[in-house]
């Protein structure tokens, strides 16, 4: 009798070379032999997706998005076939599929397609006898074109399949032991978090914690799919991400995130009239530029400066659009700053605790780190600081909120 379906997703680092693929095969076979029906989702080998994009860019800076998807979807096809072979070698039956073969139907927005339907009949059928391996990150559009689901999209494939198959669990295997209170490469005593709510994980991921793709968490939250983030190099329990439970409220700050990939743009001397901000941000949105923080100063002269942050990769496009806009609305110069870092704290306990922002600002003040921008929401506070202080800021905030490992008294 089967113990039910288990979905396991292995990220790029877990399948970076043949040795690691063989290690994954062992883990998959162990789950099968423990009595589960196993569905495996794999990412492309190591950084091979980046390398494919790089090849495209050697030809043109703006490749056709249809062809780009055709190209980058191949990475996952390589890893899923190799994994199937490695499992065969261990004496178990396994079969690999592309997204299209298992009916992952998406809309037509290449490079960031949305899943609109999954026809899991083939998987269910094969699962009766075999381990099923599915290429992550890809689907087929309603027009029969190959699409991809946005960078890190294998997470989304895993969550979506776990939901459709009504799986017992959705395990995300990576090269770290779970989600940490801060990046362990930046903060030495960062601690692995045992449990997080979907909301917190979503914020941490959106604010720069690169363990899970934000979209996949949104999906998991919508359908209540619990996720277990863990390491493919150990058997330790990792981080469980689920709906909020009562005990989570007591934790004011769960983690500190750092994003160094944004840039700040300022439009100076913007006329202070109703409708101007609407006009500016409408045009920017139309260019598909994702604006994050926005700060507008009080105006005493009927003109005000508006600063906002955008992904660093969109900076040039943004400056061009902003210059044009400034002319149209009668504003002044455009200035920009690439040397910024956004440091954020996240925690659901913030809803019921006051003074959290003050503690964060104090931590920065003690180290004489200047805050350039601030934004807050119910469960997060972000500060923009000079890029060269980004990591230091993470360390002092982590320390101030006592998030590190408990120090053993000597
Ligand atoms: N290989 C894709 C990427 O690097 C998808 C994934 O890893 O989830 O973004
Ligand atoms: Mg990858």
**Residues counted in the chain:** 410
The reply to whether 14 falls in a domain is yes
The reply to whether 270 falls in a domain is no
What pLDDT is recorded for position 299?
A: 76
The reply to whether 257 falls in a domain is no
Counting ligand 1 atoms within 8 A of each CB, the residue from 8, 46, 49 with the most, and so the one to mutate, is: 49
| Domain CATH number, residue 30 | 3.40.1160.10
> What is the pTM for the complete model shown?
0.90
The answer to whether residues 403 and 253 touch, using CB atoms and an 8 Å cutoff, is yes
The reply to whether 315 falls in a domain is no
Q: 298: exposed, middle or buried (C-beta count within 10 Å: 0-12, 13-18, 19+)?
A: exposed
Beta strands across the sheet bearing 380-386? 255-259, 340-346, 380-386, 373-377
Is the C-beta atom of 46 inside 6 A of ligand 1? no
Torsion angle (degrees, nearest 10) of CA 359, 361, 365, 371: 170
User: In whole angstroms, what is the distance from residue 168 CA to residue 242 CA?
Assistant: 13
User: In whole angstroms, what is the distance from residue 84 CA to residue 356 CA?
Assistant: 50
Residues 299-357 pLDDT 10s: 788 899 999 999 998 899 999 999 999 999 999 999 999 999 999 999 999 998 999 99
pLDDT higher than 90, residue 93: yes
The reply to whether 321 falls in a domain is no
Residues 41-54 pLDDT 10s: 999 999 999 999 99
The reply to whether 83 falls in a domain is yes
Q: Which domain holds residue 163?
A: 5-175
Is the C-beta atom of 317 inside 6 A of ligand 1? no
How many structural domains is the chain composed of? 1
Counting ligand 1 atoms within 8 A of each CB, the residue from 137, 139, 159, 172 with the most, and so the one to mutate, is: 137
Is the C-beta atom of 137 inside 6 A of ligand 1? yes
- What is the 52 CA–ligand 1 centroid distance (Å)? 11
Residues 248-287 pLDDT 10s: 778 899 999 999 999 999 999 999 999 999 999 999 999 8
pLDDT higher than 60, residue 409: no
The reply to whether 404 falls in a domain is no
Identify the helix (H) or strand (E) that includes residue 279: helix 276-286
Residues 374-389 pLDDT 10s: 999 999 999 999 999 9
Mean pLDDT value across the chain:
95
The reply to whether 11 falls in a domain is yes
């Amino acid at each position: 009798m089967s113990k039910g379906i288990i979905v396991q997703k292995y990220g790029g680092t877990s399948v970076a070379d043949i040795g690691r693929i063989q290690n994954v095969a062992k883990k998959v076979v162990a789950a099968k032999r423990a009595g589960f029906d196993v569905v495996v989702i794999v990412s492309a080998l190591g950084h091979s997706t980046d390398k494919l994009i790089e090849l495209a860019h050697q030809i043109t800076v703006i490749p056709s998005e249809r062809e780009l998807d055709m190209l980058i979807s191949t990475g996952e096809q390589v890893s899923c076939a190799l994994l199937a072979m490695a499992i065969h070698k261990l004496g178990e039956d396994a079969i690999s599929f592309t997204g299209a073969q298992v009916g992952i139907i998406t809309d037509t927005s290449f490079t960031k397609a949305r899943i609109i339907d999954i026809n899991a009949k083939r998987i269910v059928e094969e699962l009766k006898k075999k381990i099923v391996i599915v290429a992550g990150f890809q689907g087929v559009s309603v027009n029969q074109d190959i699409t991809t689901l946005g960078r890190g999209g294998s997470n989304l494939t895993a969550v979506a399949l776990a939901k459709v198959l009504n799986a017992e669990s959705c395990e995300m295997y990576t090269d770290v032991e779970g989600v940490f209170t801060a990046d362990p490469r930046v903060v030495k005593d960062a601690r692995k978090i045992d449990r997080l709510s979907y909301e917190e994980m979503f914020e941490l991921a959106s604010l720069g914690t690169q363990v899970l793709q934000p979209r996949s968490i949104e999906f998991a939250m919508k359908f209540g799919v619990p996720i277990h983030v863990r390491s493919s190099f150990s058997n330790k329990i990792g981080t469980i991400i689920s709906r909020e439970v009562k005990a989570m409220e007591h934790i004011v700050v769960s983690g500190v995130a750092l994003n160094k990939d944004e840039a700040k743009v300022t439009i100076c001397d913007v006329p202070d009239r109703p409708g101007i901000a609407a006009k500016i941000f409408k045009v920017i949105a139309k260019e598909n530029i994702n604006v994050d923080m926005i700060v507008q100063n009080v105006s005493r002269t009927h003109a005000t400066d508006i600063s906002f942050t955008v992904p660093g990769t969109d900076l040039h496009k943004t400056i061009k659009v902003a210059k044009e806009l400034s002319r149209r609305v009668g504003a002044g110069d455009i200035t920009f700053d690439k040397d910024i870092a956004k440091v954020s704290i996240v925690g659901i306990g913030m809803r019921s605790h006051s003074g959290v922002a003050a503690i964060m600002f104090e931590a920065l003040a003690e180290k004489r780190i200047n805050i350039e921008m601030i934004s807050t929401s119910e469960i997060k506070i972000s500060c923009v600081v000079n890029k060269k202080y980004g990591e230091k800021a993470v360390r002092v905030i982590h320390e101030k909120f006592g998030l590190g490992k408990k120090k053993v008294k000597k």
